[in-house]
Chains A and B, each alone.
Chain A
Amino acid sequence: MTGSAATAMAAYPASIDVNTTAFNPPCDDDANAIAPKMQTAAKAEYGRLDYVASAFTGAAFTRAATLSRTPNDWGYYVHSHGDYYMNADGRRYTGFREDSGDCSQQVVFSKDIKAKRAGRQSNLVFISTCHAADPVTTMPDAFAIAKTKSTGSANQGPEFYVGYLGLQWDSDEWTFEQRFWSGTGGGRAVGAAFDLAMLGAFKNPDFDADWWGTYQWTGVAGLFTTCTSCM
């Protein structure tokens, strides 16, 4: 095996998809300056956690592009409009809107992601949309993350899913996310980072988020659970 091949095998890609067009020209002639900050912060932290992080927005964040990348992604972050959408098959699935650089934005359903990933392992998945962690959410399963909370010495593998419940505001999401990234970047376990993030100063008293995965995991990309206390 050549050196470059070994490097390629060891790489853990993460896609950072952020819908900016829905909140910026041409759909909105003013700028929502918060979403790009969230994109920058997420990409930087995934990089610090040893993912090969790439950010996509506008015409680069389409349903087709996301689905073509997802089989190789170990980490995934998306910030967009999300909901529990009705699919053409007559069932509802958690999903989010692509950006696509225009004002007509297709839904990326969890069903679509699940089909492409086909049960493949994920690491850190952060769905920064409304409803992504509602009790009925179907998104964790798309990334093969069990909706269980493994704490203490329990270990369900190097995986962690974060999302919001219900309708949330960008300023609160930005507060939560920066606190979460500060925790993971500071070496905290992903679960501890979540706990610290939940204690932020949110303008909406109903702000809520949830998680599933291995609490003690560090969030660092890879096949194995890196932590200080899990078995």
Chain B
Amino acid sequence: MRSSRTLFLRLGLAGGTILGVVAAWPSTSQAGDPFVAGEPSTRVIAAPTDQLDRAAAHARGLAAALGLPGVSRQAARVDDRFEHRTYDEVTAFDAAGRAVAITRFDLDGTVALAVTLGWRPVIAHGIDAPAATRIAGGLVRAAGLVPSGTPVARESAGAGGWSISWARVVAGAVVRGDGIRISLWPDGSFHGLTRTERTLAAVPTMRIGRAQSVATARRVIDDAFRGAAPSLRSTAVDAAWVAANDMFGATGLDAAAETLRLAWVVRFDAIGALAERLHAVEVWIDAADGHLLGGDVAE
């Protein structure tokens, strides 16, 4: 196991553009196998050299547009079973052979992710939210993406300064996790970009009502928490697209579902002694037929 990881680390040291398939993991299963917790979720798969060349060239162009560092690049096609996604990943190296940036492209060439590796210290007088939003909009367009809707800027420790996001909205409901997000350093320079647009099920023609979804979710809570259920109070109900998960044993799978479904998301907040063990619970009810899609817990 160690030798295969070392190979991944060493290839960047040779200098010059290096293209080709790199064995980051010993292959343990075939494409299309469901992800199993504890196993690696990504693996490099074979790809035609001309397609990897194209990805590397695309990465050079994106680097120029966003200001990503790197003097040499290495491309590989990656199958990600946890996220149900196959992409071309290009790692950029500096003159000393250090990895300094990573870009990922969906197989249609659309940018999926870009990040400048490393960290920058907090500065005394960084940009404000309006400036961050304006800069992020320019970077999104420079990456060849077309944002829609109103961006929201948030301060973010993990982003290194600012996180500016454009939510994806379909049929009037937010697609949870999908959209475009830009990370900026405090001085407004580029740190990261991610774009997610997962497959959605058809918009249901008939929907169960909000009240019915709350009643169904209440029954789920009553069954699940029994004596503690009265300490969970329904506080919000929203329509959203969600990826079914195994929170209540609904899927039996270790990764969230590939195709998202329109759901009523019913939130319950804990009170009293129960709040010492958890903060809140969500129950996701399929908006089409009222069946349980999964949920979430905040501990």
Contact = CB atoms under 8 A, between A and B. Distances in A.
Contacts of A48: 1
Contacts of B196: 201
Contacts of B247: 32-34, 170-171
Contacts of A144: none
B277 A209 contact: no
B223 interface: yes
B249 A169 contact: no
B270 to A, nearest CB: 10
Interface stretch (A56-64, A66-74, A116-124, A187-195): A187-195
A94 interface: no
A140 to B, nearest CB: 13
Contact of B245 (A81, A133, A165, A171): A171
A196 interface: yes
Given A33-B247, A187-B9, A203-B177, A192 B99 contact: yes
A205 B167 contact: yes
A107 to B, nearest CB: 9
Given A30-B249, A205-B154, A168 B115 contact: no
Nearest to A186: B24
A130 B277 CA distance: 12
SS of A interface (majority): loop
B246 interface: yes
Nearest to B117: A192
B111 to A, nearest CB: 12
Contact of B42 (A135, A171, A182): A182
Nearest to A209: B158
Nearest to A135: B157
A30 B248 contact: yes
Tell me if B's interface is mostly helix, strand, loop or mixed: mixed
B82 A182 contact: yes
A214 B165 CA distance: 29
Contacts of B154: 205-206
A105 B299 CA distance: 13
Contact of B24 (A50, A187, A198, A218): A187
A186 B5 contact: yes
A103 interface: yes
A28 B177 contact: no
B25 A170 contact: no
Q: Report the interface size class on chain B.
A: 35 or more
B146 to A, nearest CB: 19
Contact of A105 (B119, B163, B277, B279): B277
Interface stretch (B32-40, B50-58, B137-145): B32-40
Contacts of A40: 37-38
A31 B192 contact: no
Nearest to A105: B277
Contacts of B192: 195, 198-199
Most B CB contacts (10 A, CB to CB) among A41, A191, A202 go to A41
Contacts of B225: 28-30
A97 interface: yes
A135 B158 CA distance: 12
Interface in B248-289: 248-249, 254-256, 276-280, 282
Interface in A77-128: 80-82, 97, 103, 105
Q: 9 shortest A-B CB distances, which residue pairs? A: A30-B224, A201-B177, A187-B8, A44-B38, A199-B194, A37-B37, A203-B176, A187-B5, A229-B98
Interface of B: 1-2, 5-6, 8-10, 12-13, 24-25, 37-42, 80, 82-83, 96-99, 102, 113, 115, 117-119, 121, 152, 154, 156-159, 163, 165, 167, 176-178, 181, 183, 192-194, 196, 198, 220, 223-226, 228, 242, 245-249, 254-256, 276-280, 282, 296-299
Given A199-B113, A229-B96, 5 more contacts: A23-B277, A80-B299, A194-B158, A199-B193, A215-B117
27 contacts: A23-B278, A29-B226, A40-B37, A41-B37, A48-B1, A81-B278, A81-B279, A105-B277, A129-B299, A135-B157, A165-B158, A167-B298, A175-B256, A182-B40, A182-B41, A186-B40, A192-B99, A192-B102, A196-B115, A198-B183, A199-B113, A199-B194, A201-B177, A205-B152, A215-B119, A228-B9, A228-B13
